[in-house]
């Protein structure tokens, strides 16, 4: 990937991070993002820099993390070469924006979004460039209109890139964000894609921009609809318990977490997706007929929401 194109991607990613965090601060109305600029020290296996933004203790968001990183390394970690074995051990460059927002109100869903670019190649060869990312929603209490809205925006963000993209990326999301050890989806899905290089670098970058630009339209209306709903100890206990499943996925199955840790990334930034409070309970089962039971019976089932 040439230097000018790398800088174009970097510039857009930094602007995306700023737009999202500005909007979330305004939505919260109380807390502000702490801006933590970092740079890898000389001599470390991974070089590069980034900006981690974290907001805690807000009126709407208990914890919201949004990070930008741009790193270079001498060899791709195993998590990045599962589908590209010919690049095993090749030098690489990776950049992206990743976010997870954990609201305080249990009726407001947790959300994740990530867009990224990776370029790799051996010296003297043309680098191979691919893109990945997507967004997905993890409610603790299900509402059909929220699921429909989120998926409709995801669908529309991919419309210009072919009719196959939304159904294909939706299935990919359903399959990927799945706790295999629980035989259970993490949430109601969205879109996910990885190792995407169809149509060349320009097309991959355009798709990444469309997905990233759609995030606020997908999530903010849902927050605004649910944030005023009354909740109490019962709803809070259910939220903390379900957050445990979120943590399990991120630590056990998530390739992004594994990539960051295996490549020598910045641990504090990699783990910004963790909620501030979480709970586990032995064989907890919701009472039949309750909204808590409806989450697993109706909403944690892959379905067509568009």
Which residues are known catalytic residues? 112
**How many CA atoms are closer than 13 Å to the CA of 296, on its beta-carbon side?**
16
Spatial CA neighbour of 277 closest among 63, 54, 32: 63
Other C-beta atoms closer than 10 Å to the C-beta of 183 total 7
The dihedral through the CA atoms of 195, 199, 205, 207 has a sign that is negative
Tally: H helices and E strands in the chain: 8, 9
Spatial CA neighbour of 97 closest among 71, 72, 115: 115
Residues forming a β-bridge with 179 = 184
Tracing tokens 């990945």 back to the chain, one arrives at 132
109: left (phi over 0), alpha (psi -120 to 50) or beta: beta
Please state, in angstroms and rounded to a whole number, the distance separating the CA atoms of residues 216 and 294.
27
Q: Are 95 and 105 in contact (CB under 8 A)?
A: no
């Amino acid at each position: 990937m040439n230097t000018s194109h790398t800088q174009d991607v970097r510039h857009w990613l930094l602007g995306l991070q700023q737009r999202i965090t500005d909007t979330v601060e305004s939505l919260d109305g109380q807390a502000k993002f702490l801006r933590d600029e970092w740079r890898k020290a000389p001599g470390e296996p991974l070089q590069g820099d980034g900006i981690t933004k974290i907001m805690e203790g807000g009126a709407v968001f208990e914890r919201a993390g949004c990070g930008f990183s741009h790193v270079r390394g001498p060899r791709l970690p195993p998590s990045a070469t599962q589908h590209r074995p010919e690049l095993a051990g090749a030098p690489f460059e990776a950049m992206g924006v990743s976010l997870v927002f954990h609201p305080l109100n249990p009726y407001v869903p947790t959300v994740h979004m990530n867009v990224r670019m990776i370029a790799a190649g051996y010296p003297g060869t043309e680098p191979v460039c691919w893109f990945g990312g997507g967004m997905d929603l993890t409610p603790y209490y299900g509402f059909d209109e929220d699921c429909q809205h989120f998926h409709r925006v995801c669908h529309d963000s991919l419309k210009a890139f072919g009719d196959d993209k939304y159904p294909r990326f939706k299935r990919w999301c359903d399959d990927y964000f799945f706790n295999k050890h629980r035989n259970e989806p993490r949430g109601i899905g969205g879109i996910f894609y990885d190792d995407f290089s169809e149509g060349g670098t320009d097309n991959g970058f355009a798709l990444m921009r469309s997905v990233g630009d759609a995030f606020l339209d997908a999530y903010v209306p849902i927050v605004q609809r649910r944030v005023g709903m009354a909740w109490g100890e019962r709803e809070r206990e259910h939220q903390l318990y379900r957050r445990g499943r979120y943590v399990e996925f991120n630590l056990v199955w998530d390739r992004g977490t594994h990539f960051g840790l295996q490549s020598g990334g910045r641990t504090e930034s990699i783990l910004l997706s963790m909620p501030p409070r979480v709970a586990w309970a032995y064989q907890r089962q919701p009472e039949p007929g309750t909204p808590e039971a409806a989450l697993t019976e109706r909403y944690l089932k892959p379905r067509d929401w568009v």
